[in-house]
Structure 1
């Protein structure tokens, strides 16, 4: 019980550090917030809000896409219908260039939560991702050899 309460206090410090980092825009401040969220998880590994906030921080501010995907995947393992984790994992996949996984997550998100406040954004993302996937499926045109210079 004490560790759970302490984890919430530590998470609160991490949240304050993140707000400070958003104002300062210093990477070291974002990294400090990440460390506080990790400390909260070390105290209570099942604390979903700390893991979710760390995933958001990793995705949006630290460009640690693999870490963010791992956090969101852990949350989805604990609760397959955690739509906010699913949406943000899809966004992270898209940013990381894993378009097929992003498409799968956005489609699943819309199946589970078609009336979500993020549904319109998911549809817009899917439109762009379908276009990218279509372009990637097309073969590239042959390149012309550069003219040879010489006598």
Structure 2
């Protein structure tokens, strides 16, 4: 069929032609306040979770539960060491934790878990406490990429 016959047939049946059909507005054509994301509620909950996890850890070195370190068979990787080598942020077999040297010569661990973020929070809380000891003794502080200098004051 040619275009003329199609137009005549559409007019006889009263179907709108392409030129007569209303155009849909795409999302990018809507004003910013009317744009909707399919997972907007999920995104807001995720942002709340992220901001909640950034709260400083209020535990001190004495309140953490330290257990003897027992290798799980994976490769132990020390990710970061604090000044004086007192605490080590480590991972092994997909789990993250903080190590310290025990009095009996072995190692103790705390904060073991599947997420890097929780182990870093534990590490930062311990290092901040340790850095405060240096400040009270008026010793110079070594920079630490995980700790903000203002937190130790």
TM-score (normalised: structure 1):
0.25
Larger helix fraction of residues: 1
Say which one has the larger Rg.
Answer: 2
- Higher relative contact order at CA 8 Å, sep ≥6: structure 1 or structure 2? 2
TM-score (norm 2): 0.25
